[in-house]
Structure 1
């Protein structure tokens, strides 16, 4: 059975300028079967049509939180309450596995200094090997297509190079043969492609990152997701 792994990032991967209000880089992986993804696409597009009269709306976490265009309807508190309730309901009832990988940048720099590895490179390595383990536990997970949002020509080329090296060399815990056998394709998509899976990974990433940074704070968005986080939990480095 085919699965998709949708990957989105939250936070800046740069180690040269750390935002002390958000000193984390995290990628949120959403592993979902092809069959379940089709159901999710239908539900999320119905949701968009209900609130916006079109499915050509991109659900972007930051724009929703800041009530930026086209989400000005959320200034109406009754609409806002219904919007979040219906969106949370769709996410809660969709069957997928969340694979969060977070790099705590201050600790990473303190431990490794100038030779510290690029957080995105490290995160991709972690998420690939953990996806192999997740598929071992999922019945029928025999093929994974990875989908990542485009970040720029140079960045995408660098990421593709890292992906190919992981496939060639394997990781410390997973052989290259297992990775090649499972991962069939990597696909880079523009935000404007309106990919529903990338929007889902965007929506889940920020609340998880906030939970890692501020574990004692009230976080209702995370509460919806916690049962979907892989059985062995998230990866926090170092």
Structure 2
């Protein structure tokens, strides 16, 4: 018990951009991104305080849920971003927060649907495939930093019951089989729990993952297009010996 208490704790918050449907999809956005941010418990409190401080400053309400699509469209709670002064302050502060060094690490997997279907098939579980990659690379990073002396909680945005059940089944399968690079024993030793949460639960980590997933997706679709948001977050992608191990594009 004493050893368990001394182990450092991380949380991997996972959200998505796009949908995992390979048969019918928006040809103007032909991809699915599963994005995770890995945060240690000692730094999560800072991140939550900063995001909540921004909510109090511009909305006077910590219960506002940051959602990338609504922010971009200035809809619902974000209609105040139509005011140029408010919008400038919002992006100034969110870039400061998300650009702060050594607070979180990004692990993400991007599925390019058209070439994926051509090479594989439409029956592939791309959500599960992406989840495996995120968990694997999160454990890599934890072991790099803490030599295995750490535990991981995984928090995934709750979807519909059938999708949640499929994902839970896939996760439980990973606990039995492991991955190509991580044994089942190592995986189960690292992971403390796996749970689903609604966006409405106001989980700051999920909101940050949501904000990050879109600029990553846009970068993959068009790396030459100006993308200042990606420039802010790119340094947080899990990198080992110069290689971006936390940034997977399938197929590539």
Match of 2:183 in 1: 175
Q: Distance in 2 between matches of 1:134 and 1:35?
A: 16
Match of 1:185 in 2: 193
1:136 Cα shift?
Answer: 1.6
Match of 1:130 in 2: 137
1:115-126 matches, within 5 Å, as: 116-126=123-133
| Cα deviation code 1:141-169 (max 9, x no counterpart) | 61010000100111111111100000111
Match of 1:7 in 2: 14
Match of 2:159 in 1: 151
1:77-92 matches, within 5 Å, as: 77-92=84-99
Match of 1:236 in 2: 249
Structure 1: where are the runs of 5+ without partners?
none
Q: Distance in 1 between matches of 2:118 and 2:66?
A: 36
Q: Distance in 1 between matches of 2:146 and 2:228?
A: 30
**Number of equivalences:** 237
Match of 1:36 in 2: 43
Match of 1:72 in 2: 79
Q: Distance in 2 between matches of 1:90 and 1:112?
A: 39
> What SS does structure 2 have at the residue aligned with 1:71?
helix
1:52 Cα shift?
Answer: 0.4
Structure 2: where are the runs of 5+ without partners?
1-7
2:106 pairs, out of 80, 98, 114, with 98
1:218 pairs, out of 204, 223, 226, with 226
1:113 Cα shift?
Answer: 2.9
1:212 Cα shift?
Answer: 0.6
Q: Distance in 2 between matches of 1:79 and 1:126?
A: 38
Segments ≥4 residues shifted beyond 3 Å = none
Q: Distance in 1 between matches of 2:11 and 2:144?
A: 16
> What SS does structure 2 have at the residue aligned with 1:102?
strand
| Cα deviation code 1:83-124 (max 9, x no counterpart) | 11011111111611001111111111000135x521101101
2:56 pairs, out of 49, 52, 58, with 49
